[in-house]
């Protein structure tokens, strides 16, 4: 361990924050991660032989080989956990959520549309929906999924700057790269999934609202640490005194192994080989552990539990930037119940039943034999096509096949009962998991089954919106108001022009501190992340066609909605711009009122010659906000 020459105040700060992490590990962390290892093996596919083979290493594998030879029988594993999670996840988060920004005071009213468009652009830029899926799957596997919202500013070396030279031989322009320049590549809020193995919290809290502090861990290489010190990201006096030799002496792979060994073995990889990709033993490089600890007022980074390298004011004072999700929350507990835990024992029962059936089938195909050792030599027992066994005496008395019982039919009924229990526990059914759905033949029946059997999935989706999407969106709003200090230009996608639907449109708008002022609240639009119900929408499209030709219904809007429900991306491109015919009755009424016939014909011709802009059937943002 290098001599870091820390002051008494710096040592006290290190002891304080290191004590928080170590107290969490003693109270919760070690047990929680062991529990997560168990559920991860279930999700990846429980292959005990492969797992023990990878984990044992080359020196201890002889015993595993001998044990495998002495043990007979099939070891079938049905991936029930994988099937359940991968089926449920698309029903919870299939699309990027749509946000509603509402004013809380008169000053914010003219700015809510700008804030909404800005957050939509920022979330689209970071692929927000894909990151939400990582948090979602962690919650389904471990019972706890977490993310982190922060303002990220990223610079890159840009070679796009070029200078032009003209050749004196040909006169043609020759382009040569100019000097490298630093360019601001990203300067917006960001949402990052947090590995539950690398999450720590106040052991007395059960949510971000009740915790005094929360922290997440990152694994860094030597070069990454050097760059953070060079760029001033780590700006404490102790960090600026760190040299490359000090950093080489700080790193260690022990914590990395404790965190990743079980998961890498369950996935079929060796931990030592994986760590070798990040380290170089010949140069003394190690993996560095960096804990980013957030309190209500401060943000601190503790490197290798030995030195505080960053200490700054919190980006969002009063908040902990860690939205967490529990699929089934338990009262006064941070960790909830995932989808693997309730079905684990049912999956084991199904594995045993299927293995027993395989063993019975193997015995039925090649049953054992009883033989008289005085009439048959054991070495002469050879089975195969055209094989002959020399027998002294009557073969029926010297060699007899053993009687093997057939597999009882009740085993298949038990398997169906187990699957029914799994579906009942998880809230999924055949219609959602891709089965035959019990003879469902119409969209109405499919919708009724889905509505009655997916309420628990809908409940989990609403909890995900309340615990992850809403808090992270509020942090986006707060960070925008706090960190945008100059004018910038953003882009908003618009619906296609009805007159030219094949051309994409967008709107450029300016964002500055003044356009983001005011107290606002943001809510996710309910159900916007869930998958569309295609059978129901197709049925609604067919029902709407009953209004075809009805003079009380705008036919253009009717056909626009029908095409949209039939999954047409740009309905305007499918619709003609023909003029509506003038009802003959209207012409007769005008003649009876004394209007000259020539004047009526002239007005009809002028109306048909004109091609007025057809209004967009979709509401504008201003109309949406007035409706809300």
Encode pLDDT of 263-316 as tens digits: 887 777 765 555 555 555 555 578 899 999 999 999 999 999 999 999 999 998
Q: Render pLDDT for 320-376 as a digit per residue (tens, 0 to 9).
A: 999 999 999 988 899 999 999 999 899 889 988 888 888 888 887 777 788 888 888
**Residue 517 DSSP SS3:** coil
What is the mean predicted confidence (pLDDT) over 101-121?
90
Q: Residue written as tokens 């033993």?
A: 281
Identify the pLDDT of residue 254.
Answer: 81
Cβ atoms within 10 Å, residue 463: 18
Identify the pLDDT of residue 512.
Answer: 92
| Torsion sign, CA atoms 217, 223, 225, 230 | negative
Q: Which helix (H) or strand (E) holds 523?
A: strand 520-524
* Cα–Cα distance, 360 to 197 (Å, whole number): 42
pLDDT for 616 beyond 60: no
Q: Are 166 and 129 in contact (CB under 8 A)?
A: no
If pLDDT is split at 50, 70 and 90, which confidence band does 54 have? low
Identify the pLDDT of residue 414.
Answer: 87
Identify the pLDDT of residue 215.
Answer: 96
Residue 28 burial by Cβ neighbours in a 10 Å radius (0-12, 13-18, 19+): middle
Which one is predicted more confidently, 1 or 553?
553
pLDDT for 208 beyond 90: yes
If pLDDT is split at 50, 70 and 90, which confidence band does 421 have? confident
Q: Which helix (H) or strand (E) holds 353?
A: helix 340-365
Identify the pLDDT of residue 55.
Answer: 56
* Cα–Cα distance, 187 to 152 (Å, whole number): 6
Identify the pLDDT of residue 403.
Answer: 79
Bridge partner residues of 92 (DSSP): none
Q: Are 465 and 524 in contact (CB under 8 A)?
A: yes
Identify the pLDDT of residue 376.
Answer: 83
pLDDT for 70 beyond 60: no
Q: Which tokens in the block code for residue 521?
A: 């609240």
Q: Render pLDDT for 502-523 as a digit per residue (tens, 0 to 9).
A: 677 788 889 999 999 999 988 8
Cα–Cα–Cα angle for 555, 561, 564, rounded to 5 degrees = 140
What is the mean predicted confidence (pLDDT) over 557-570?
79
CA torsion angle 110 113 116 118 (round to 10): -90
Q: Which tokens in the block code for residue 506?
A: 């967008």
What is the mean predicted confidence (pLDDT) over 63-75?
60
Q: What average pLDDT does the structure give for the chain?
A: 79
Fill in the DSSP letter of residue 267.
T
Which one is predicted more confidently, 152 or 403?
152
Give the rounded percent of residues in the chain with a pLDDT score beyond 70: 75
Q: Which of 568, 569, 571, 548 lies closest to 617, judged by CA?
A: 571
Identify the pLDDT of residue 9.
Answer: 93
Q: How far is CA 544 from CA 186, 192, 444, 540, in A?
A: 46, 43, 15, 6
Identify the pLDDT of residue 276.
Answer: 55
pLDDT for 199 beyond 50: yes
* Cα–Cα distance, 159 to 179 (Å, whole number): 7
Q: How far is CA 598 from CA 173, 471, 549, 582, 604, in A?
A: 68, 67, 30, 15, 10
Q: Render pLDDT for 138-195 as a digit per residue (tens, 0 to 9).
A: 999 999 999 999 999 887 776 555 555 556 566 666 666 666 677 788 899 999 999 9
What is the mean predicted confidence (pLDDT) over 448-469?
75
Cα–Cα–Cα angle for 589, 595, 597, rounded to 5 degrees = 90
Q: Which of 324-328, 430-434, 490-494, 553-557 has the lowest mean pLDDT?
A: 430-434
Q: Which of 107-121, 256-270, 341-355, 605-619 has the lowest mean pLDDT?
A: 605-619
pLDDT for 614 beyond 50: no
Identify the pLDDT of residue 617.
Answer: 40
* Cα–Cα distance, 468 to 436 (Å, whole number): 34
pLDDT for 439 beyond 50: no
Identify the pLDDT of residue 266.
Answer: 77
| Torsion sign, CA atoms 132, 135, 141, 143 | negative
């Amino acid at each position: 361990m290098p001599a870091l020459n820390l002051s008494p105040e710096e040592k006290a700060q290190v002891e304080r924050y290191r004590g928080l992490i170590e107290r969490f590990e003693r109270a919760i962390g070690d047990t929680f991660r062991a529990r997560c290892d168990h559920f991860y093996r279930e999700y990846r596919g429980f292959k005990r032989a492969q797992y023990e083979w990878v984990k044992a290493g080359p020196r201890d594998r002889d015993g595993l080989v001998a044990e495998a030879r002495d043990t007979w029988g099939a070891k079938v594993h049905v991936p029930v956990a994988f099937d359940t999670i991968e089926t449920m996840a698309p029903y919870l988060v299939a699309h990027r959520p749509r946000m509603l920004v509402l004013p809380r005071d008169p000053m914010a009213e003219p700015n809510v549309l700008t804030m909404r468009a800005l957050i939509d652009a920022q979330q689209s830029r970071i692929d927000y929906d894909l990151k939400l899926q990582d948090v979602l799957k962690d919650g389904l596997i471990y019972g706890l999924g977490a993310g982190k919202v922060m303002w990220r500013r990223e610079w890159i070396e840009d070679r796009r700057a070029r200078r032009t030279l003209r050749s004196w031989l040909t006169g043609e322009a020759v382009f040569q790269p100019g000097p490298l320049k630093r360019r601001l590549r990203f300067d917006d809020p960001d949402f990052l999934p947090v590995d539950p193995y690398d999450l720590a919290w106040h052991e007395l809290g059960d949510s971000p609202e009740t915790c005094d502090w929360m922290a997440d861990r990152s694994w860094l290489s030597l070069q990454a640490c050097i760059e953070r010190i060079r760029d001033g990201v780590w700006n404490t006096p102790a960090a600026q005194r760190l040299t490359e030799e000090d950093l080489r002496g700080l790193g260690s792979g022990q914590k990395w192994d404790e965190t990743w060994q079980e998961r890498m073995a369950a996935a079929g990889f060796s931990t030592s080989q994986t760590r070798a990709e990040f380290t170089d033993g010949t140069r003394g490089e190690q993996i560095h552990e960096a804990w980013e600890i957030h309190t209500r007022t401060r943000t601190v980074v503790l490197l290798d539990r030995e030195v505080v390298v960053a200490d700054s004011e919190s980006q969002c004072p009063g908040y902990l930037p860690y939205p967490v999700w529990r699929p089934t929350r338990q009262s006064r507990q941070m960790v909830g119940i995932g989808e693997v835990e309730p079905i684990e024992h049912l999956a084991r029962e199904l594995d045993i039943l299927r293995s027993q059936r395989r063993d019975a089938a193997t015995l039925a195909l090649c049953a054992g034999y009883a033989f008289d050792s005085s009439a048959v030599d054991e070495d002469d027992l050879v089975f195969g096509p055209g094989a002959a066994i020399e027998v002294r005496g009557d073969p029926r008395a010297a060699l007899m096949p053993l009687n093997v019982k057939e597999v009882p039919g009740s085993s298949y009924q038990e398997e169906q009962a187990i699957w029914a229990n799994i579906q009942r526990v998880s809230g999924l059914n055949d219609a959602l998991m891709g089965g035959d759905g019990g003879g469902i033949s119409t969209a109405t029946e499919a919708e009724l089954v889905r509505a009655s059997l997916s309420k628990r999935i809908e409940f989990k989706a609403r909890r995900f919106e309340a615990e992850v999407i809403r808090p992270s969106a509020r942090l986006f709003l707060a960070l925008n108001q706090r960190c945008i200090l100059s004018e910038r230009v953003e882009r908003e996608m618009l619906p296609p022009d009805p007159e030219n639907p094949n051309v994409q449109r967008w709107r450029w708008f300016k964002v500055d501190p003044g356009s983001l002022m005011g107290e606002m609240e943001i809510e996710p639009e309910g159900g916007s992340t869930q998958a569309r119900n295609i059978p129901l929408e197709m049925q609604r499209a067919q029902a709407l066609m009953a209004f075809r030709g009805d003079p009380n219904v705008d036919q253009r809007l009717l056909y626009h909605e029908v095409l949209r429900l039939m999954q047409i991306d740009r309905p305007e491109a499918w619709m003609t711009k023909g003029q509506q015919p003038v009802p003959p009755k209207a012409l007769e009424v005008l003649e009876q009122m004394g209007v000259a016939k020539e004047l009526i014909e002239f007005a009809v011709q002028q109306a048909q010659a004109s091609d007025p802009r057809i209004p967009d059937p979709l509401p504008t943002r201003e109309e949406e906000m007035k409706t809300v």
